[in-house]
Amino acid sequence: MNVSLDYHIQTTFMKYKHSFFTGQPIFSQLLSLIPRSMVGCLSRKHNSDRYCKKFKAYDHLVTMLYQGFFQCLSLRELTTGLQANAERLRHLGMSNTPRRSTLADANKRRDSAFFEELYHDIYKMYFSVLPDSRPVSGKLYIVDSTTISLFSEIMKGAGTYGSNGRKKGGAKAHVLMDAEHNLPCFVRITEARSSDVLFLKELSIPSGSIIVFDKAYINHTQFLKWDQQNTIWVTRQRIDSSFRIESHNEVNPCSSQGGVLADQIIIMGRPSNGHISPLVKARRVTYKDRASDKEFVFITNDLSSPPLQIADIYKRRWQIELLFKRIKQRYPLRYFLGDNVNAINIQIWCMLICDLLVQIVMKNVNQQRKQAWSYANISSMIKHHLMTYIQLTQFLLNPERALLNYNPTPIKNGTLF
């Protein structure tokens, strides 16, 4: 190749690069949201790099996030994908791509607690700090769990046996969701047979908040603690629950037309079992949904809000079901890269980190843009262009301008130049 042609190639590429591209692939821009100092501190805390010569905790994190964004279904697919992008991975701080055996060993030996704490620290860094002018009172949290079926009985399953006499294993993700940011702010992963009620003991809810959950989380002792902390709780009443009606609140015509059938003050529990399950004073609201013609009974410690507001608060609980649907559809957890509990937990935590990074990008872009991007569009764009040198934020802010400035190399006679 002569000097003039070589110079033409370089100048054309530089013009092409600066008009539309950036010096880092999208994957590198996403990883820049995770401070390397944070990864290093957690790695030292959990001894994650102990006895590791090359495949450090940061390399492991990059590899698993690559798997999550590209939805790789096997170790071979993941490692060959990394090898195909070996040159671009240098931007991510990875000098070597792992072999299948190396990755399998790391998934088995490196403690998943490193990834668990990393997720929670990233969340706190971007979403937990509120402006000074904004009160914490009234912040809505939603509690629920979702089960992830596994291919074998690695983690004990829940429910009845199948027709073949076997029961699949399963992992259960217990989630405390921040309804404002549509994100899990606290997650615990257990076996599927683990009781949901036990998760309540691990929660730390700010005073003055509102927490919503379904009937699986009814615990009178926890209700009394929340009463003392000035935390409002809203749930549904079980059919077999024992209670005594103390008084009836008048239902005004507006509430009656909205579907409220009754508004009562009750004492929950049996006096004979007071030493096991204490009595709790609560409010019982009977509500009939006009659209579905179904009747619901809500219980809460909020004795002053309008009954329709209690019903509206519980309707917000559906938001966590949409969260589970979003994660399971975008990062399908049908195939796992390991047949042990630690590998399964690592993969679940990394899927949650992938979802968190997309939410951070979406929040940043939508705050500066009149027409908001949807999660599905941003995540799809990231998946298809993960290793492309596009300035992600600028492109999402104004894709039309980015395309207008795009100046491709002209093609003549089927060849460049």
**pLDDT tens, position by position, 327-381:** 988 887 878 888 889 999 999 999 999 999 999 999 999 988 888 899 999 999 9
pLDDT on residue 162: 52
116-151 residues labelled b (16+ CB within 10 A) or e (exposed)? bbbbbbbbeebbeeeeeeeeeeebbbbbbbbbbebe
pLDDT on residue 272: 75
pLDDT on residue 314: 95
Pair of tokens at residue 80: 């060959």
pLDDT on residue 18: 46
Other beta carbons within 10 Å of 174: 23
The Cα–Cα gap between 20 and 8 comes to 18
- SS3 category, 193: coil
Q: What is the DSSP string of 140-184?
A: EEEEEEEEEE-SSTTS---S---TTS----EEEEEEEEETTTTEE
- SS3 category, 254: helix
The Cα–Cα gap between 372 and 369 comes to 6
Query: What pTM value is reported for the model?
Result: 0.84
pLDDT on residue 167: 55
Of 218, 212, 216, give the one whose Cα is nearest residue 141: 212
The tens place of each residue's pLDDT in the chain, 417 residues long, gives 444 544 443 443 344 444 445 678 899 999 999 999 999 999 999 999 888 888 899 999 999 999 999 988 889 999 999 888 887 777 777 777 889 999 999 999 999 999 999 999 999 999 875 443 344 457 899 999 998 877 656 666 544 455 555 555 688 999 999 999 999 999 999 988 888 999 998 998 888 899 999 998 999 999 999 999 999 999 999 998 899 999 999 999 999 999 999 999 999 988 777 667 789 999 999 999 988 889 999 999 999 999 999 999 999 999 999 999 999 888 878 788 888 899 999 999 999 999 999 999 999 999 888 888 999 999 999 999 898 888 888 888 887 765 555 554 444 444 433
End-to-end CA distance of the chain: 13
C-alpha to C-alpha distances, 41 to 35, 185, 351, nearest whole angstrom: 10, 21, 21
